[in-house]
Structure 1
Amino acid sequence: MPQTDNFYTLKGYSLLEHTKITSSMEDYLEMIYRLSQDSQPVRIKELAECLHVKPSSASKMTGNLKKQGLVRFEKYGTVSLSSDGNHLGEYLLFRHQVLTRFFSYVNQKSSDLEQVEKVEHFMNPETVYNIQKWLDKFA
């Protein structure tokens, strides 16, 4: 009989990671990082529009990010990244860009946003950086 001790469900692997930030939180943080690149204040309404969610949902999630120490946010105010939030947001955007390049190359499309969005949350940093190295060498 084959060895199966190391297999888990997707939920099982997630529980093993003990992460405090969810995939949805990553999406919000990445978008806040993107929007903050032009040094303009990020408003909840703008964040909600970019993510195609209701402002109340964006406000609630921003509150969750605040509890994690990743953003500064006062209700009805603007959102800004903490130092940790900026660092993580920078990585999340990098990961997104690397996977966009990768899937565009593999699938011969100018953009494969849906594929990237579905996969990016399951990639560990080592794999992302190795894909980046591969792309720099071969693509």
Structure 2
Amino acid sequence: MGDNKNFHTVRGYEIIEKEKKNLTHSMEDYLEMIYRIYSQEGVISISSISEALNVQPPSATKMVQKLTKLGYIDYVRYGSICLTEKGEEVGKFLLERHEIIEEFLKNIGVEKELLINIELMEHNLTRDALLRIKVLNDFLKENDEVKRKLEDYFISLVK
């Protein structure tokens, strides 16, 4: 099935299920964004986190401190922010989960309020549902004709 971006479903699900005991939705959002920033820029700062999440720097600092206590990141006040191995592993899964849901919503023609829908869904899906969404996304990637028919169908609903 197509390029899966090295997504390891079973392991990813095991990681997130284990970590859900420690992480609130807000913590997941921060960790996902920290991983995203790290992946794109290689450097993570309080200002880059607060800017990316549209929060004030003191709020970002408090969350970074919480994530540090839980062992997801290493942070020294006024210093650098680094993901721990655990933080990198969970952050990667959270970003991949986000991308799976985004691709699914785009596949079914959701354009309006896309990010809001992704955020509302990603914290509440079961791992079975997420796996099925990923399988459907992969199927549609490999079956252009089916994907076009689906797109045409959704366009016809809007008319």
Q: What's the TM-score bracket when you normalise by the shorter of the two chains?
A: 0.7 to 0.9
Q: Which has the higher contact order (CA 8 A, sep 6+)?
A: 2
CA distance in 1, matches of 2:130, 2:37: 23
Q: Gapped runs of 5+ residues in structure 2?
A: 1-18, 141-146, 148-159
Partner Cα separation in structure 2 for residue 123 and residue 68 of structure 1 = 24
Contact kept in structure 2, 1:104 and 1:111, CA below 8 Å? no
Q: Report runs of 4+ in structure 1 exceeding 2 Å deviation.
A: 107-111, 124-127
The one-letter code matched in structure 1 to 2:120 is: K
Report matched runs for 1:1-139 at 5 Å: 19-38=21-40, 40-109=42-111, 112-138=114-140, 139=147
Under a length normalisation based on structure 2, what TM-score does the superposition of the two structures give? 0.71
One-letter identity of the residue aligned with 1:44: I
Structure 1 residues 108 and 26: alpha-carbon distance in aligned structure 2, compared to 1, 3 A threshold: closer
Report deviation, 1:65: 0.5
SS in structure 2 opposite 1:109? coil
For residues 68-102 of structure 1, give each alpha carbon's deviation from its aligned partner in whole angstroms, at most 9, with x where no partner exists.
Answer: 11001111112111111100000000000000011
Matched residue pairs, number? 123
Which one has a larger percent helix, Structure 1 or Structure 2?
Answer: 2
Residue 40 of structure 1, CA deviation: 2.5
TM-score normalised per structure 1: 0.81
Q: What is the CA–CA distance in structure 2 between the aligned matches of 1:75 and 1:123, rounded to whole Å?
A: 35
